[in-house]
Every structure is written in structure tokens, then in C-alpha cells.
């Protein structure tokens, strides 16, 4: 049996390139869902699903309210909505106030995912210029899940990975290709 049932990823400044580097290494039929919060502008056309869909072997789409969180799919939080995972492992959206000055916030997704998946979850914090994700990653770790953080030295913006490491000193700190490798290893039956 694999060690995890889901992966959650958070990123901000420089996130597109980092996500591309990680997602392109995931094989088709990855045995878990991958759920991503990437800080984005509230208005305008949301291009991230197409941009990531092009380089990823897994189907990529915006997470829709009420839909089950399915293995082998990559889901993205919609602009201007927090994304949460319900205890029955379906997606929920909210327009609650911004957290860490952003919506969607990584903390909101990670805390709800830690509730839903407990120890069978990997939380990953990538490049970014604020502290969102630090509290969420701690919730993942406290529930017994796996914390992975992009090596700040390799990050476009290092504030977010540094805050995550300070919050969860036991998290594994790795460059992007190794993060993908770690996820694939955790998914191995």
C-alpha cells in the first residue's frame, strides 16, 4: 500500500515554472490526487490550467465545488476563492476573508486537507514571497503527514520555503526534481 492518499502543493511568486518542473515528472496514472494553490490575480482569464495541462501527463483542471478528489488528477484552486477539502474528500470553495493577505490561501487548503487525509498526505511548499503555507504545513505534519519544502537556495523567491522550514523543522528540504521523486516514491504500492 502507498504511504499517501493525496498531495497538496502551495506556491506563489515564481510558481508557474516550479510547478512545471515538478508536474512534468509525474507519470500518467499517478496513484494520488494532486491539489494546488497558486496565488493568482482575482480577475481576468485563468491560464494556469492550460499552461500546466500542456506539460503534465495527468489531466489538469480547476477544482469544482462538490466534486470528489480523484487519484490521477491535478486540481487547481480558482482565483479569488479559497479551496478546501471536506472530510468526505470532496472539494469545497469559500469566499471567506483573505488569509496571509491572499485568496486562495495555501494554509486554508492544507489545514482542511490534513483534516481529511490525516497522516496519509504530503504537503509541499514551493517558491513564494510571503509566509502563506507555513501554518498549513505544520497542520500536515501534526496530523502525521509528510512535509516537503523546495530548497530555498533553488527558489525564485525564498521567503515562503524559509517560513515553512521554520514552522516545520522536520520537513524534507529538496530541489524540485527530488521533490517529484519523493512524491512518486511515497505513491509506490
Partner 1 sequence: MNEAELLDIEVTLFLEALYRRHGYDFRNYAKASIRRRVAGLTSLAGVGSVAELIPRTLRDASFLPEILAQLSVPVTDMFRDAPVFQALRQQVLPILASWPRLKIWQAGCATGEEVYSLAILLEEEGLLERTLIYATDINDLALKKAEDGIFPLAGLDDAQKRHRESGGRRPLAEYGVSGHGYFRLDQRLREHIVFAHHNLVCDGVFCEVHLVLCRNVMIYFDRELQARALRLFHESLGRGGFLCLGTRESLRHFESDSGFAVVDRENRIFRRGEEKAA
Residues that bind partner 1 (CB under 8 A): 43, 62, 64-66, 78, 80-81, 84-87, 92-97, 108, 111-112, 114-116, 118, 142-143
Q: State yes or no: is 12 an active-site residue.
A: yes
Active-site choice (5, 38, 39, 112): 39
Residues in a beta bridge with 7: 34, 122
Active-site choice (73, 82, 112, 132): 132
Cα distances (Å, whole numbers) of residue 149 to 24, 67, 123, 158? 18, 28, 8, 11
Q: State yes or no: is 78 an active-site residue.
A: no
| In the complex, least distance from residue 144 CB atom to partner 1, rounded to whole angstroms | 8
Helix (H) or strand (E) holding 51: helix 48-53
| In the complex, least distance from residue 135 CB atom to partner 1, rounded to whole angstroms | 12
Own/partner pairs for 65-70, CB < 8 Å, 24+ apart? 65/91, 65/92, 65/93, 66/90, 66/91, 66/92, 67/91, 69/6, 69/33, 69/35, 70/33
Active-site choice (12, 38, 78, 167): 12
| Closer Cβ to partner 1, 95 or 170, answer by number | 95
Q: State yes or no: is 132 an active-site residue.
A: yes
| Closer Cβ to partner 1, 109 or 173, answer by number | 109
Which residues participate in catalysis according to the annotation? 12, 39, 132
Amino acid at each position: 500500500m502507498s504511504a499517501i492518499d493525496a498531495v497538496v502543493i502551495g506556491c506563489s511568486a515564481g510558481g508557474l515554472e516550479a510547478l512545471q518542473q515538478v508536474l512534468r515528472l509525474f507519470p500518467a496514472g499517478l496513484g494520488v490526487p494532486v491539489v494546488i494553490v497558486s496565488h493568482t490575480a482575482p480577475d481576468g482569464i485563468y491560464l494556469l490550467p492550460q499552461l500546466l495541462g500542456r506539460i503534465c501527463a495527468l489531466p489538469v483542471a480547476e477544482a469544482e465545488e462538490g466534486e470528489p478528489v480523484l487519484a490521477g488528477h491535478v486540481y487547481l484552486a480558482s482565483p479569488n476563492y479559497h479551496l478546501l477539502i471536506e472530510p468526505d474528500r470532496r472539494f469545497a470553495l469559500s469566499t471567506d476573508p483573505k488569509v496571509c493577505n491572499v485568496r486562495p490561501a495555501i494554509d486554508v487548503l492544507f489545514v482542511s486537507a490534513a483534516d481529511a487525509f490525516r497522516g496519509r498526505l504530503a504537503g509541499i511548499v514551493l517558491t513564494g514571497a510571503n509566509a502563506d503555507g507555513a501554518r498549513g504545513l505544520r497542520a500536515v505534519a501534526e496530523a502525521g503527514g509528510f512535509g516537503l519544502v523546495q530548497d530555498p537556495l533553488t527558489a525564485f523567491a525564498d521567503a515562503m520555503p524559509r517560513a515553512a522550514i521554520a514552522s516545520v523543522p522536520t520537513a524534507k528540504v529538496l530541489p524540485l526534481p527530488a521533490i517529484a521523486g519523493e512524491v512518486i516514491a511515497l505513491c509506490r504500492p
